[in-house]
Every structure is written in structure tokens, then in C-alpha cells.
Amino acid sequence: MTYLPTLPTPRLIIDEAKLRANIARMQGQCDANGVALWPHIKTHKCLEIARMQLDAGASGLVCAKLGEAEVMLASGVRRIFLAYQLVDPETQAGRLRALADALDTLIVAATSFVQAEALGRVLDRAGITLPVLMAVDTGLGREGVRGLQSAQATAAVIQAHPRMRLMGLYSHEGQAYSEGVDRQMAAQHCVESLAAVRDAIDPALTLWPGCSVTADLAAALPGVHAVRPGTYVFGDLWLSRLTGQMSIAETALSVLTTVVDRPEPGLAFVDGGSKSFSSDKTPEGVFASPADERDFHITRVSEEHGWVTGRQVNELQIGDRVAWTPAHVCPVVNLADTLTVVNEGIVTSEWKVAARGKVS
Ligand SMILES: Cc1ncc(COP(=O)(O)O)c(C=O)c1O
């Protein structure tokens, strides 16, 4: 048996019971409303977790990049939505075709008038016809048509193209990641924005909002066909302390570190910096907080060092282990080769972050 204190650090630790609870909770909320759950795998990039989500009842998986989807095939998934702009026939058509051949359903994304035209060229080169979800910008200002006129013009491009079948509308309401957000209002705003576009184009279009801050509430709103959350599977400071979607105690991933220095009162260093925690932080400048909610935080990072400051920092001693909840979990996972799975303090498995670095 391997116990946590004997492991080298830094290391990503998964509490399997909490992971399973997070998967079951979101699936339960979707099932109760008759809404499909398509989890985004960008958060875990791990075949074992994708299989858990599918076994729990997920209808399909969402990936951003072709490389992520290619890796996820080994999970046994039969339906994937590639929620990212495809634009390059030269490098993407062959891979897209191979992916479509390997799956029962492959859905692709149209995010604007010009990108829809480019997507058409990729599909022409691939020689395949695919279902398309059109993105609607509901406030993030990233992917998605802006306004009804642009929505109608983009939908017309898709509907006129022989290799595209417009099936619905999606959004990523990442703007809901704001401190103290009213989650119900955010979910409602998003779904109403999608519904307005649907009503202007075709009442048969399905609605696919997606973001962990709002997914559980969006699933209960009329007209929603599917939700596509990713971060809910682990949780992080954004999803717990800042937006209140879950508690810190429910977060399933922590970064285990060791205290390596105490050079002056009020300051400790741990052996994880930006190469373990990424550069993402909360609006207060916190990169990570202790999973057991003691009152100190990582408030500055260099590559291999985390500066720990706060009221209880003087309690730390060299060699102490500290498990941290990161501010934003998704880039943290992408920095690690493996996830160490723990049940009641005992290491039970080591899972590969199989789609790590698959950014093309
Ligand atoms: C297109 C798209 N869909 C779904 C998600 C999942 O969002 P979250 O991680 O907030 O659950 C993301 C996250 O970046 C995304 O970009």
C-alpha cells in the first residue's frame, strides 16, 4: 500500500470518491430534467475519467481540438462535439474525416460568418457532411455570432452548404466566472439569448449552453437540449469560493506540495510554482488555497517556487505537506503527466493525462 506522505511532490491528487460524486451530481441534475450531458474533456484530458462520465450516462464528449478527440476515441466514446473553429483544409480535413469515420456522430462548430465559410472548405476537402452547432456570443466576446443579423447571415451560409446540417445553437458563457455572480440570472440570460436566435432562424434548432457555473441551472430551463460543462468534474477556487457552484470540500483535485523554505517570518516556500499551478489566479491574486481551508495562500509564483503568505503561515515547517486547491484547475492538469488517485488516504491508481498538450 502506498500512502500520500511517501510520494514525491509536487503531484496532482484525485480524491476518487469526490470525483465520482461530482460526476453523479451533474448527471443527476441533467437526468432529472431530461437534458443531455456532454462533458467537456479539456478539464481532465484523461481516458479513465471520460469513461466514468460515459458510464454515468453522458450522451457524448466535447473536445476543443482534433488531437483531444483523437485521444478520446480510446475511451469508447461514440459521439463527440468539436467545439472549436476548424478553418484549415490542408492540415485538418484528413484528420476530421478519420475522426468522423471512427464515430457514430461527430458535430462541428460554426462560430461566425467567415469561419462558417472556412468550415465549409474543410468539409469539402474532407468529402464528408456533418451536423453543425452554431455558436452565439452571450457576453464573453469570444466565439459566436454577435446579434440577430449576423446569426441569420451565418445560419444562411450553413444551411446553403451541401456538407453542413445546422442542428442547433451553442454558447460558452465564460463571463459567468465572476465573483459573487448570480448563477440563476446568468443561466437565464444565456438560455434566453440562445432562444431568441433560435426563434429568428428555426424553432426546431436545439439549444446547447455550456459552462460549469451555470450548467446545473441551465439544465432546468425550458428549451435546453444539452449542457456542456467541464470544470465541474474537479472544481477549483473559481467554481467554489468565487461563484459558489460547489464547496471547497467538494473539489476533487488538489496539488500536493512540500514546504521547502521558511526564510523569514510570514513567508514559506513550497516546491510548486507556475510549472505546477499555471499563471492563472483569482482576482485577489491567489494562485491556490489550502484544500483544508487554513488561512494562508500561494500569492506569487516563479517557475518552481510558490510564495505562501497569510495569517497561519508561521505554523508551517520545512518538510510539511500541503494540499492546494488551484484557482483554475484546467491548465494545472495540462501541466502534469499523471493524476494520482487516492481513496481514503491510500493511493489506488495512477492515471495518465492522455490528451495533455494536444493543442492542435
Ligand atoms: C466551448 C466550451 N464549452 C464548454 C466549456 C466548459 O466550460 P467550464 O469549464 O466552465 O465547465 C468550455 C470551457 O472553456 C468551452 O470553451
pTM over 0.85: yes
Q: How far is the CA of 17 from the centre of ligand 1 (A)?
A: 24
Of 46, 92, 89, 47, nearest to 65 by C-alpha is 92
DSSP three-state, residue 81: strand
Q: Please give the pLDDT value at position 38.
A: 98
Cell representation of residue 132: 453543425
Return the ligand 1 atom nearest residue 330 CA: 9
pLDDT of residue 300: 98
| CB of residue 212 inside a 6 A radius of ligand 1 | yes
Residue 229 beta carbon below 6 angstroms from any ligand 1 atom: yes
Q: Is 210 in the pocket of ligand 1 (CB under 6 A)?
A: yes
Residue 27 CA, ligand 1 centroid: distance in Å: 16
User: Alpha helix (H) ranges present in the chain?
Assistant: 16-33, 47-56, 66-72, 89-102, 113-126, 148-160, 183-201, 215-218, 274-277, 329-333
For 17-233, CATH number?
3.20.20.10
Instruction: For ligand 1, atom 10, name the residue with the nearest CA.
Output: 211
Q: Which residues contact 327 (CB under 8 A, 6 or more apart)?
A: 236, 237, 238, 277, 280, 281, 282, 286, 287, 288
216-220 long-range Cβ contacts below 8 angstroms, 24+ apart: 216/25, 216/26, 216/29, 216/245, 217/183, 217/184, 217/187, 218/187, 218/190, 218/191, 219/29, 219/30, 219/33, 219/35, 219/37, 220/29, 220/33
Q: What is the pLDDT of residue 217?
A: 97
pLDDT value at residue 6: 84
- At 329 the pLDDT is 98
Cβ(202)–Cβ(171) below 8 Å: no
Q: How confident is the model at residue 3, as a pLDDT? A: 72
Residue 171 pLDDT class (50, 70, 90 cuts): very high
How long a stretch of residues is the chain?
360
- In the reported structure, the alpha carbon of residue 230 is separated from the centroid of ligand 1 by a whole-number distance in angstroms of 6
Q: Which three cell numbers, joined as nine digits, stand for 22?
A: 461530482
pLDDT of residue 210: 87
Q: CA–CA separation, 309 vs 123, rounded Å?
A: 53
Which atom from ligand 1 is nearest to the alpha carbon of 43? 9
Cβ(172) – ligand 1 distance below 6 Å:
yes
**Is there a contact between 106 and 138 (Cβ–Cβ < 8 Å)?**
no
Task: From 228, 245, 328, 334, give the residue whose CB has the most ligand 1 atoms within 8 Å, as the site to mutate.
Answer: 228
CA–centroid distance, residue 171 to ligand 1 (Å)? 9
- Which is nearest to 136 in space by CA: 174, 193, 185? 193
CB-ligand 1 contact for 230 (6 Å cutoff)? yes
pLDDT at 1 over 90: no
**Residue ranges matching CATH 3.20.20.10 in the chain:** 17-233
Domain with CATH 2.40.37.20 in the chain: 2-11+246-352
* Cα of 187 from ligand 1 centre, angstroms: 14
C-alpha cell read off for 289 = 488555497
Q: Tell me how far apart the alpha carbons of residues 156 and 341 are, in angstroms, rounded to a whole number.
A: 48
Q: Does the pLDDT of residue 129 top 80, yes or no?
A: yes
Neighbours of 35 (CB within 10 A): 21
Distance (Å) from CA 268 to ligand 1 centroid: 34
What mean pLDDT do residues 123-131 have?
98
The whole-angstrom separation of Cα 188 and Cα 185 is 5
Q: How confident is the model over 254-268, as a mean pLDDT?
A: 98
Q: What was the pLDDT predicted at 307?
A: 98
Does 144 sit in the ligand 1 pocket, CB within 6 Å? no
Distance (Å, whole) CA 347 – CA 11: 12
CA distance 269 to 81: 42
Residue keyed to cell 452571450? 138
CATH code linked to domain 2-11+246-352: 2.40.37.20
Strand, coil or helix: 63: strand
Average pLDDT over residues 107-119: 98
How many other C-beta atoms lie within 10 A of the C-beta of residue 6? Answer: 8
Q: For the residues 285-304, what does the mean pLDDT come to?
A: 97
Model confidence at 88, in pLDDT bands (50, 70, 90)? very high
143 CA from centroid of ligand 1 (Å)? 11
Average pLDDT over residues 210-238: 97
- In angstroms, the CA 86 to CA 81 distance is 12
Ligand 1 atom closest to residue 143's alpha carbon, by position in its atom list: 1
Predicted confidence (pLDDT) at residue 85 exceeds the cutoff of 90: yes
